[in-house]
Amino acid sequence: MTTQTLLIELLTEELPPKALNNLGNHFAASVAEGLEKAQLIDGAAEYTAYASPRRLAVQVKNVKAVQADQKIVKKGPAVANAMKDGAPTKALEGFARGAGAKIEDLTIVHDGKQDVYAYEYVQTGKPLGELLEDIINQAVKKLPIPKVMRWGSSTFTFVRPVHGLIVLHGDNIVNVSVLGLQSGNKTLGHRFLSSGEITIENADSYATQMLEQGKVVASFAERKAAIQTALNEQAGRLKATVAADEALLDEVTALVEWPVVLEAGFEEHFLAVPQECLILTMQQNQKYFPLLDQNGKLMNRFLLVSNLQTEDPSHIIQGNERVLRARLSDAEFFYKQDQKATLESRLPKLSSVVYHNKIGSQAERIERLQSIAAHIAKALGADAAAAERAARLAKADLVTEMVGEFPELQGTMGKYYARLDGETEEIAEAIE
């Protein structure tokens, strides 16, 4: 039996970036699993998942147009209990009736424990079109979506509104309905770089057509690799390293369909602010990639990933620089404001900060920390006074402007402010 590639695409509005890769992988795996269970593939499914901001898709190789005929064996009552005085019991008659067979059509098979009556027949394989709608609907239902939404007058629900459905087996449209949409072979490309509808010629040409006609790198993995390569090339040219984790790279990959990496910068005076603050606001608020020099110090250059390709990207760069300047100005303001008060002077405010509703405030917690720290330091032969001082100031940065804006920096800012207050380096590092 000849087989062909199957393509399924859900065209949506912009999907949640932090969940995109997971959604794409789950959708593809569920469709492939459904095809395997329906015996529409010989052996294990070979599939490719696609996920971009506006689409989830899967391409499965070697899918049959029709199931193979299957030998079905329906097992019934035990032979020992199925006949009485040479006549079939009600149990045997009921089994035969339920199986749509006559008593004389039944055979005797061994079920591993005993001989039983059985009805054996060949079930004609069903065509792909009869099975695929349920497979896709089940895959959609299994997606890990914490919150669903409705759109328009539809009663269907999904993570985002769905506006298009492609189901192609080779170059043939498989007629199914999913989320109120009828299957076809048309989709949309990039919102700005593509023009009009794209007709997918066959299931195998999907990725190529999306790339060439739609300006969409449909594969999440390929977009991520392209972004990583471009980031490394730009950073290498500046003799810098990129300060970013895998989560940021994944999120940015989920925000663009046609990634273009651009270099931008900000004023040097912002580097007076602790670099952890600047890096965090660049990564968390703006999804930019900070650059570190060969000594690990933050540079006043950064990389951004645009979803647009233009002959002159200067307006994109300047726009992003303007937005970042406002963010860095906020961080600079918080840092300067925080320096107007010492960590010691902030301690009374901790009495109004709840640590735990059954064991008191942060101020009460500090009293316990001081006592415990001093006790342990004495037992270890360490400086008990220094340990007690570090414990006393350890939570004071919780009531600073900077930590109020960026809770992730608690401890880190305490270290910087302790140095500014004239505390010893030992105490500053203990606070961190």
Vertex 81, ends 75 and 87: CA angle to 5°? 100
Environment class of 62 (CB within 10 Å of its CB; exposed 0-12, middle 13-18, buried 19+): middle
- CB 215, CB 190: distance < 8 Å: yes
pLDDT at 1: 57
pLDDT tens digit sequence for 220-241: 999 999 999 999 999 999 999 9
- CB 95, CB 79: distance < 8 Å: no
CA dist 198 and 175 (Å) reads 19
pLDDT tens digit sequence for 25-60: 999 999 999 999 999 998 888 999 999 999 999 999
Average pLDDT, the chain: 94
pLDDT at 79: 79
Report CA dihedral (40, 41, 43, 49) to the nearest 10 degrees. -120
Mean pLDDT, to the nearest integer, of 334-355? 96
Q: What DSSP letter does each residue of 381-396 carry, written as one string?
A: TS-HHHHHHHHHHTTG
Mean pLDDT, to the nearest integer, of 146-160? 92
- When comparing pLDDT for 401 and 116, which is higher? 401
Q: What percent of the chain has pLDDT above 70? A: 100
- Rg of the Cα atoms in the chain: 32
pLDDT tens digit sequence for 62-105: 999 998 777 778 887 887 777 887 788 888 878 888 888 887 77
Band (171; pLDDT cuts 50, 70, 90): very high
Mean pLDDT, to the nearest integer, of 108-120? 83
Q: What percent of the chain has pLDDT above 90? A: 82
Band (122; pLDDT cuts 50, 70, 90): confident
- CB 154, CB 148: distance < 8 Å: no
- Record the pTM: 0.85
pLDDT tens digit sequence for 281-317: 999 999 999 999 999 999 999 999 999 999 999 999 9
